[in-house]
Amino acid sequence: MKASLAATSISIALAGVAMNASAAEDKKVLLKVPVAFATSLPGLGSPIPKVAEQIELVTNKSIRMKVYEPGKLVAPFEILDAVSQGKINAGYTTAGYWAGKIPASPLFSAVPFGPDAGEYMAWMYYGNGLKLYQEMYDASGYNVHVLPCAINPPETSGWFAKPIEKPEDLQGLRMRFFGLGAKVMEKLGVSTSLLPGSEIFPALEKGAIDATEFSMPAVDTRVGFHKVVKYNYFPGWHQQSTIFELLINKGTWNDMSAGQQAALSQVCKASMADSFAEGEAKQFAVMKENVEKRGVHIMQWNDTMLDAFRGAWTEVVAEQTANDPMFKKIWDDMSQFREEYKLWGQNAFLPRK
């Protein structure tokens, strides 16, 4: 990781030298960037202000970003359409929000029982991931250029009012759940809804939902779920890592110089490393405080529950690949990469426990 960060920093520095030399020739670009997550949320919304700061420095202010908090310019679930149509020229969000428009999109956000951050980035940058990511938007008719711009470590997999010990305990629950994991929960009798971050706590507090998942402990605690429900489950089988995207209108992207495009790409790549490091660093202290000061129970899914989730996920994959050719194309490519990666992944790392 240190070598990767050093290499990325060198790339950015070199890009910065090139950009400073040519800044007088480049058109000034102002990216107005509505975000899907409050910038106060660590690792979730916090990366994009850092990107805004760094891109201005690297390009000698030939690219500037103005970041808008959720709902201030565009509602979170409207960002993709707004960027594609040119109503705004950029947006920061996650592809999993577009599942209703593009069934394959959650594969570029988070995959149940899927790759952790290292493996996900390996497929994205050194497999076919990035190429397929852009192809998906192009084939779906969206006029956007996509850059992966942050990645989070595992999330918690839910906050519940009581322990969940068997699949039957999920029957009839109303739960906020994200992405492909929601389809798994529905197979197990949960009624799911996808609420933006700002709406989850009010829904939980008023009893409109019984349980929720959202993000990592440092984020969930800041939102306040522990005030209503006390059983916090791990591991995050549904989101072992989560990618966030910077969408740029293609007209805006094509108007940039090659140097500006390279600088933005490299700053986003650096943000992937930084956001992952931030996410890893900020969870354990919050988890300790949750137990000692907030009465939270840190729970582990038993084997029966993990088997039930995995079995339901197998059914979801079969349905999605049968119903959507793009989903199948991406899934098959990711699965082939992961199968080959196993030789490395299963031999290289020490067990966690």
Measured CA to CA, the distance from residue 295 to residue 136 in angstroms comes to 44
Q: Which parts of the chain fold into alpha helices (H)? A: 2-22, 47-58, 79-84, 117-126, 129-139, 179-187, 197-205, 217-223, 250-255, 258-281, 284-294, 303-323, 325-348
Rounded Cα distance, 48 and 46, in Å: 6
- CA 20, CA 32: separation in Å to the nearest integer? 22
The gap from C-alpha 116 to its chain's centroid, in whole angstroms, comes to 12
Does the annotation place 239 within a ligand binding site?
yes
**Residue 275 DSSP SS3:** helix
- State yes or no: 214 annotated in a binding site: yes
Burial class (CB within 10 angstroms; exposed 0-12, middle 13-18, buried 19+) of 156: buried
What is the rounded distance in angstroms from the CA atom of residue 90 to the CA atom of residue 247? 5
CA distance 198 to 72: 13
CA gap 234, 159 in Å, rounded:
10
Other C-beta atoms lying within 10 Å of the C-beta of residue 168: 11
> Which helix (H) or strand (E) segment is 249 a member of?
strand 242-249
Q: Is 168 annotated as a binding residue?
A: no
Which region holds residue 158: left if phi is over 0, alpha if psi is between -120 and 50, else beta? left
Binding residues: 155, 176, 213-214, 239
Binding residues for Na(+): 214
Binding residues for substrate: 155, 176, 213, 239
